[in-house]
Structure 1
């Protein structure tokens, strides 16, 4: 279930209440006249089944409530109510399959913004992965994958393409390109420092690395895994099964490939560097394409669902 908290101008409240009452899957409607001070208006609250949430939010935006008032949406972790159970039964589909497009756009906007924190996390992840590739340590590689924040901008690219939001698309692309460029440049400096300290050397990079050699040797499985991870990642963002996103983060070789490219470049091992760059680009492309197609399919499926208004 979702909880909606609305601020509506007094002359629009009746219209909003009628809309909520007509929407299948809503319950717990409450109105507190004159409760809002800034902006001034009435406070309207209701709960709605997740599978009916996107329709209701879209209709509220169609009334301009987001411009003249406010629309706030919260996830309800626990709701002990027979009315809530009935609302979920009335709403078509399953809540786990529902896509709240406004929520996705908001999450993509936040996660795809180029910031100091984003670059810091990506750089730290890349440096951890650099230690992993030099030491041929799979545990460090997995840890670096989990730390990396790059799926946020990738999701922003997918959402920007499907929702035809050029600003979101451009911002996400900038975050990806500038973020990885900065992280790799910082990791090159880190590699020079570690070599000066005697911790990295070219012999380690050229040695047989059975645990991490796949990072600079892209093959068909690289694309297959990227596609599968892109589908799983987008499903985890758009559904109620968000816990799967951590598994997605440690499934694809993006950060480790960037790290190996940076270390190889610092030791002038350009063959490994280019192979790692190919691996990085292949994974980014596979995730972006799969994520975009997943959103397109979800949009088509949900567009075909017709919700009937309540009677009586």
Structure 2
């Protein structure tokens, strides 16, 4: 339930009361004597779904903007009359005015926002370098990205240009700050005793996850955007939703920064693409869900103009996501191909170990060097095979060629195969 209180300007009490009675809700009037500008305070208990129609009725009746209308959440109302009100006004979403107010509150002051985001990025960068999922998730609790993401969409839908611009600016500058922060941290830590000599960021699983993004990664961003709007319009807890939005944005942004520090263009491109796709997807779903939820500007004349702007933004976002998704699709295909070659090599070597043609030789895959970039540069996969040979046994003629041909037939790729023969003795108790 909500408690709507109207500070009625002098001479407009009758207008206010007629509007309330037309709306069919209960009210109470208290005389206002502390200031000559207002003659009364009218208190109106209503369900959340009734707030927006009531405020629109006041506006249509010509109630001056100089009056105060306050909407507060009523924790408890003890009355049997509320059942009739709730039945009269069905719905669960909050009013347009409450939505706009909450969106403004969710987007913190710039100084607070950037401090929290930098701190979150520092923690997330440490979590990436340590390969600690728990540390990364902990950093996401600090990241204040949910507010700007939703504020931008709310501003567009309710025709608040200042709120929309502020939301977009905070998102873009904030993510650039995250990338820069991670790059500085990586540059400072690189070559120090805190990281082992020859440390390669691409071998860290948590970083590797962000530089080999799958098309399925879109579902996190799309789901986060929908959940963020639902938590906002239904006035339910948004902390966990904020974590989900931060997870979609901060770790890949930090990964892109580490790619800059280590001079890995591929890391920067793939992680940066993931950041952009997630950012655009969150904003797209937020815009669509807000509009489909029925939110419009309070001025009827602005609806058509706002709809045109919304439609243009949606088209731009869809095109941008589609273009960037081509990169995700290429990464998904490349990751599948590299994994497929490694799997086929391992499977064939196991089969060769059991093949009587090779007697007691045992095949082991020491390494398959086939990176994502090799798929598109046309480089041949390089396979190193370790073969355990019992003492005194001779390998078949043209042994390396036979191994290469078997592996090429199994993988369907040309391969560069190196075979290492090791005389092996085993002692069994």
TM bucket (normalised to shorter chain) is 0.7 to 0.9
Q: Which has the higher contact order (CA 8 A, sep 6+)?
A: 1
| 2:390 match | none
Q: Root-mean-square deviation (CA), in Å? A: 2.5
The within-5 A match list for 1:1-312 is 1-24=1-24, 26-27=25-26, 29-37=27-35, 40-63=38-61, 65=63, 67-91=65-89, 93-94=90-91, 97-112=92-107, 115-195=110-190, 198-200=193-195, 203=199, 205-209=201-205, 211-240=206-235, 242-250=236-244, 252-299=247-294
Q: Go from structure 1 to structure 2 and tell me whether the alpha carbon gap of 1:66 and 1:100 turns closer, same or farther (over 3 Å shift).
A: farther
How many angstroms apart in 2 are the aligned matches of 1:262 and 1:180? Answer: 10
Once structures 1 and 2 are overlaid, which stretch shifts more, 7-16 or 110-119?
A: 110-119
Deviations 1:97-156 (A, max 9, x none): 323111111222333365100111111111111011111111112122222111211112
Unaligned 5+ residue runs, structure 2? 299-429
Partners of 2:167 and 2:105 in 1: CA distance: 10
Aligned length: 295
> Is the alpha carbon distance of 1:36 and 1:82 closer, same or farther for their aligned partners in structure 2, counting shifts above 3 Å?
farther
| TM-score for both structures, normalised by structure 2 | 0.63
What SS is found at the alignment partner of 1:45?
strand
**What 5-or-longer segments of structure 1 have no aligned partner?**
304-312
Contact 1:39 1:69 in 2 (8 A): no
Which residue does the alignment assign to 2:391? none
Q: What is the alpha-carbon distance in structure 1 between the residues aligned to residue 178 and residue 34 of structure 2?
A: 46
> Could you list the runs of 4 or more consecutive aligned residues of structure 1 that deviate by over 4 angstroms after TM superposition?
63-66
Tell me, yes or no, if the aligned pair for 1:137 and 1:212 is still in contact at 8 Å: no
Give the structure-1-normalised TM-score. Answer: 0.85
Range that drifts further, 268-277 or 115-124 = 268-277
Quote how far apart the aligned CAs of 1:247 are: 3.5
**Aligned counterparts of 2:18 and 2:44: Cα–Cα separation in 1:** 12
